[in-house]
Every structure is written in C-alpha cells, then in structure tokens.
Structure 1
Amino acid sequence: MSIKYVFKRTGGWLYLNTSLGRHPLRGAGVILMLHRVLNNDRAAELPHRNELCVGPDAFEHLLIWLQRHFECVPLMTLLLADPESVPNRPRVALTFDDGWRDNAMNAFPLLRQYQVPASIFLSTDFVGSRQHFWWESIGETLWGSHGQVARHSLIEHLQHAGRPLPVLLDDIDDERRSLALLHYLQSLKTLDARTLSDLTEACPHGAQPQALDWPQVRMLEDSGLVRFGPHGASHAILTGLDDQRLHEELTRSWTALENGCAQPLPVYCYPNGDNDVRVREQVAAHGFPFALGTQAGLYRHDGDPLNLPRFGVSQRNACHPELLAWRIRRGARS
C-alpha cells in the first residue's frame, strides 16, 4: 500500500470526522454519479469495469457510510434547498446514468433496505429494447467473456474501422490487460454513432436485455424512492450533433419519459458529461432548469445550474469511501 494511498484515506477520514474538516461542506450538497451495480464484487474490480461498476457488497458498504456522514436526500430536494438553511449534516443525492437493468436487480433492493433515494437517468431508446450499450458489448467481447471466436471476429471489424487493438490487450497479466482495455474503450468514443452501432451488432447478444424496461421503471417509481430523468435518447454525444439532431435528441428523450413515467425529473443528464454553450442553451430552451455534467465539485447554488458537478463512484472508492471523502475534500477547495 503506497504512502500516497494511505495519506488520502487518512485525510478523507479526518475530513468527515472532525468539525474543522466538515466546515467547508456547510450549505453545500454532494451529487454522486454511479452507473452499474453488478451481482458480484470481483467482477467489478478490474480497471475496465471499476470506473462504471460497483459490486453489491461495495455498494452496501457505501450506503452505510453515506448514512453515517450525510443526510441522503432526493436530487430535487438538494437542488431546491434554501441556501440560507444550513442542515446539521451535509446532504448527498445519488444519481445513476444510462438505465442499466442491474439498477433494478441489484441496486434497488439495497436502496430499499437502507431507504436511500436515487435518481436514474435513462437513455430512452434503450428502455424496453434489446439494443445494447456499445461500451459494454465491445468491452466484454474484447475481454473474452463471450469466447475467443467472438473476440477475434470483433477484432477484425475493429481493424476494418481503422481501430486495431494495442499489443497490451493480449497481455497475460489481467490487471495490465484490463487497464489497456479501459484506455482503448475510451478512445472509441470519438467514432461516429453509426460505426459504434455496427461494431456493437458484431458482438454476441446476451440472454437478457442490458437496459431497464418500462414496467421496471414504473415499479421503481412506484416505490417512492426512485425518480427518472433523461440521459439522451440514443446516448449520442450532444456536442457532436447539429442543431436539428440535437433538438430531436432532447425532444425524443423527454417525450419517452413523459409517456413512461408519472413524474419525470426536470433535470437533463448529458451523455458522457459533454456540453457547451450551444447545448446548454438548447437544454434550457427545452424547459430544463437543471442539467448534470461530470466535472467534480460541490453543489453550492451559485454555479451554472445547467452544468452541475458530480463525484463519480467506482468500485475502489465504494470499497474505501475515505477515498471518496478525499475527492469531495478536493472539490470543496476548487
């Protein structure tokens, strides 16, 4: 264990366990960003999964820690709170991006057990469909989860797309290979949507859909613990769309939520967090007073409501939430 790692964990613990450390959080809110809760922790530990996935044990550990140090509130309660009203404990709101099926299967039972509210932001084209999220399908196929025949077939498709695999993706060491896969998947984000769709179709399709369906959405909403907002329709990066496609993406996602939910959130969640002045103006023109980005920082009511900061939750900092506290500490000083 490195000295830097010990320093961060110790500093994070002191930050939330001393009155001096907690002082920068007075009047502020913390918005956490999650994506998936897998059905076991070992699967979530490798680097190419760690940033977007947590396991059930880590997620439960995180919820217990949050309840010890924060008041866990719905997102809108945090966003609409009177900034002059300073609660006894800092507030935290949980958000999940994309609308993965495991949000209902693995995350919700723990949210219900600990009575922690959450907001899930749906890429609405995927809901109730067999359409697959490209980074999951491509990533797991390249990892070898679907066998070597499928892996080699996808490698050929990627070569035709001008994206040959780096040598490290054949490394015998799982940690190095997983880290190389993470960086490679991040590089694929620059491909156009059609190419990514074709590559996804070249991957094996699992027995279960990857996304929630509308009955699951309504079941979660009926619990009173979960609300839903838009995360794009197709999960296209909004900054790369022309004005017409941007309008269609914003409209289609909201229409789907109005039809599928009783009370959709008036909060947009940017796919990949990408936004610029043009996108924010269009989001505001479509009637959204708030939008979520991915830049780390505290919510203090005085920033841009159309680019709200969030702290990402990974398997690593869910297992060791003192590391998350350290990130929050850094955000409080920015």
Structure 2
Amino acid sequence: MSLKYAAIRASFELLWLTGMPALFRLLSRSRGVILTLHRVLPEEPADFSPNAILQVQPDFLDYCIERIRDLGIDIVSLDEALERLAEPRKGRSFVVLTFDDAYKDNLRHALPILRAHEAPFTLYVPTAFVDGVGQLWWQAIEDIIARQEAVAFTEDGETEYVDTRTLAQKREAFDRLYWRLRKLPEPDRLALLHEFTAAYGYDLDKQCRELIMDWQELRLFAGDPLCTIGAHTVNHYELAKLPAEQARSEMSQSVDVIEAQFGLRPQHFSYPLGGPLSCGPREFALAAELGFRTAVTTRPGGLYPSHLQKLTELPRVSLNGYFQKSRYVDVFASGGLFTQLGRFMG
C-alpha cells in the first residue's frame, strides 16, 4: 500500500474513533453520496495487486448496504437523488450505488446481493469493452509484471531491463509504467501498450472477453428493474487528452450503441478515470451539450442542492478495496466529511 493510502487509512481510523462521521451527517448540508465500485470478487487479492483498489468482496458489499440503511440512509437511483436534491428539506439522506466498466463479476457476485437488498444501482458501460475489443491496460500491465522476473521498458529508442523479482520491485515497475501511460497522448499510449503486451505474448482482446460482460450477459444485468444503464464512452479513453470532436464522438457514439442494443437512450454518463487529468470544464460542457442528465467524476465529495447547477461534474466516493473494514462504512457514507477530505484524497 502506498504512503498516500496508508495516510488515508490512518485518517479513517481517527475519524471513526472520534465519531466525526455521525457529527458530519448531523450538521452538514450534504444530502447524499454517490459511491463508485468496479469489481466484486470473493477472492483475497494476491500480494502484488496494485488494482486491488478497484475490487471489494461480496461480504463487504453486503455489509455496506445493511450498514448504510441502519444509519437511516436510503439507497436510491440517480434520478431519485436529483429529486431529493431539488427538495432538500424533504426525505432522508441517500446513497447512490454506481458500477463502472461492466465486469462479469458484477453479474456473478454483485447482482445477487443487490437483488436480495432491493438496492437500485447504475452501471456505466464502455461499449468497446462489451464488444470484446477494449483495452483494460491497467490490468494488463499488472498481469505481465506479476509473472515476470524482469521487464523491458523502451523509451526514446533505448531499452532498459528492470528487475521485478521482489514485491517492492514489481510495485515500483508498475507505478513507473502506469504513470508513463497515463501521461502520454492516447495514440502514443495505445502504441506503447500494444508494444509492451506483444513483447510478452499478452492478448488484450482475450483479456477483455474474459473480464467484461458480452451483450447477452449485459442484457441479463440491465434487464433487472433495479438497474439504470449509463454511458462510459466507447473506448474508455481519457477524454481530456482527445481533440474536442473525438471526445464528443466517444461520448455520443456510446449512447447510440447502447440505444441500438437496448432500445433506451442513457441519460447518465461517467467520465473514464474521472480525475483532473481525465476530464474538466470542456468535458463537462460537452456532456451538457449532448443532453446527459448527469455526469459523474471520481473527485471525492458529497452532494448538495448546489450540484443541481452543475450536474455534469458530480463527485463520487470510491468504495476502495484497501478500506474493507466495517467501521469505515460510516466514513464512506458521510458526504460532508468527504467534501472536506476531497483535496487530500484527490
């Protein structure tokens, strides 16, 4: 775990011990929280699992839903959340559950829990992933580094061989490659990704088909009345790195594909990665121009009535795999608290 996440965990412990989540829920004007989830898996992560931040275990999801309701907080759809924001003096505070990327494990492990609790949720779908041709690059580089004792990094025509025998070396190599990919323009990122995965015989399309629901599976998931389907672009590119017209196309085409598949036009959108490097004022304006009712980021914070004036830049709180302790759920459910923590956690 990085120093950043260790510091956040220490903060969670202190906040819980001092009773701050309850105080913030009582005094804050925050009406609710949108929670972000990705994967729901029963297995414990391996020692080297930098993407474990994106997964929670089914028992933890089950407990979260129970605990949120025990706190007197309702679990509602995005549309109902907007209604409650418009009438801030009516109704209880709320949590919205959202899932990104359409992982198969959502169907296998999350949906039965959501059904058992009758908990509404939103699933944001990157359509190329469901077509089986997406690049889940963050998982690919983890998989390769996990099984290698050394990896080759090529930059400016020079190749460097990096030891990855120890856990610390693997983590260092992952962080180095991850941030290099994040900082590259999308065409350069894709070229480097394909070069790196090809060198180790890693099949990106096969990985995508193994991890992500196909359209038939997605119909089972989306057919549940608890589910709201949202758009998440076509290729899961960081929109801020794209020319404006390509960014617009990524957003609008994903809506067209989902409408063609399901006969409904998504009203809600999630920006891939969702942080300051990935989306900003230009993307927020594009989402509004394209007619989305809401669009969500990954910037942490609670929801306030003032968010009705900026519905295409909504905050979310990540239900992070590094923080699967029952006492932390009280912290996750406190929107006002996360608004204060937002700068530190972003």
Common topology (TM > 0.5): yes
Describe the SS at the equivalent of 2:233: coil
Match of 1:288 in 2: 292
| 2:328 is aligned with 1:322 | yes
Which residue of 178, 181, 206 maps to 2:174? 181
User: Is 1:258–1:264's contact at 8 Å kept on the other side of the alignment?
Assistant: yes
| 2:194 is aligned with 1:198 | yes
- How far does the alpha carbon of each residue in 1:139-166 deviate from its partner, in whole angstroms, 9 at most, with x for none? 112111xxx4xx76xx34x426879789
| 2:315 is aligned with 1:313 | no
Which residue of 148, 153, 159 maps to 2:154? 159
Q: 1:280 to 1:140 in 2, by over 3 A?
A: same
Q: 1:301 to 1:85 in 2, by over 3 A?
A: closer
279-288 vs 293-302, which deviates more?
279-288
Q: In structure 2, what is the Cα distance between the partners aligned to 1:111 and 1:74?
A: 13
- How far does the alpha carbon of each residue in 1:156-204 deviate from its partner, in whole angstroms, 9 at most, with x for none? 4x4268797895x6252x3674476256424421233432551475224
TM score, norm. by length of structure 2: 0.80
User: Is 2:298–2:317's contact at 8 Å kept on the other side of the alignment?
Assistant: yes
Q: 5+ residue gaps in structure 2?
A: 1-5
- How far does the alpha carbon of each residue in 1:271-305 deviate from its partner, in whole angstroms, 9 at most, with x for none? 11122222222221111132111111111131321
Match of 1:331 in 2: 338
Cα displacement (A) at 1:244: 2.3
Describe the SS at the equivalent of 2:16: helix
- How far does the alpha carbon of each residue in 1:43-63 deviate from its partner, in whole angstroms, 9 at most, with x for none? 4x7550232111223322322
User: Is 2:75–2:120's contact at 8 Å kept on the other side of the alignment?
Assistant: yes
Match of 1:73 in 2: 76
Which residue of 103, 109, 112 maps to 1:100? 103
Describe the SS at the equivalent of 2:86: coil
Q: In structure 1, what is the Cα distance between the partners aligned to 2:262 and 2:169?
A: 43
Q: In structure 1, what is the Cα distance between the partners aligned to 2:28 and 2:84?
A: 14
State how 1:236-247 maps to structure 2 within 5 Å: 236-247=237-248
Match of 1:216 in 2: 217
User: Is 1:78–1:91's contact at 8 Å kept on the other side of the alignment?
Assistant: yes
User: Is 1:99–1:212's contact at 8 Å kept on the other side of the alignment?
Assistant: yes
- How far does the alpha carbon of each residue in 1:292-329 deviate from its partner, in whole angstroms, 9 at most, with x for none? 11111111131321110011111232334526616745
Q: In structure 1, what is the Cα distance between the partners aligned to 2:76 and 2:301?
A: 18
Which residue of 72, 91, 94 maps to 1:91? 94
Describe the SS at the equivalent of 2:236: coil
| 2:27 is aligned with 1:50 | no
CA RMSD of aligned residues (A): 3.2
- Amino acid corresponding to residue 330 of structure 1 in structure 2: L
Match of 2:142 in 1: 139
The count of aligned residue pairs is 320
Match of 2:164 in 1: 170
TM score, norm. by length of structure 1: 0.82
Aligned identity (percent) is 23
Q: In structure 2, what is the Cα distance between the partners aligned to 1:163 and 1:209?
A: 34
- How far does the alpha carbon of each residue in 1:32-82 deviate from its partner, in whole angstroms, 9 at most, with x for none? 111111231344x75502321112233223222223222111122112325
User: Is 1:134–1:196's contact at 8 Å kept on the other side of the alignment?
Assistant: no
State how 1:102-121 maps to structure 2 within 5 Å: 102-121=105-124
User: Is 2:24–2:337's contact at 8 Å kept on the other side of the alignment?
Assistant: no
- How far does the alpha carbon of each residue in 1:111-145 deviate from its partner, in whole angstroms, 9 at most, with x for none? 1122222111111111132544111122112111x
Which residue of 268, 280, 290 maps to 1:276? 280
- Amino acid corresponding to residue 65 of structure 1 in structure 2: R
Q: In structure 1, what is the Cα distance between the partners aligned to 2:324 and 2:94?
A: 18
Match of 1:255 in 2: 256
User: Is 1:133–1:210's contact at 8 Å kept on the other side of the alignment?
Assistant: no
Which residue of 46, 58, 64 maps to 2:66? 64
Q: 5+ residue gaps in structure 1?
A: none
Q: In structure 2, what is the Cα distance between the partners aligned to 1:319 and 1:116?
A: 21
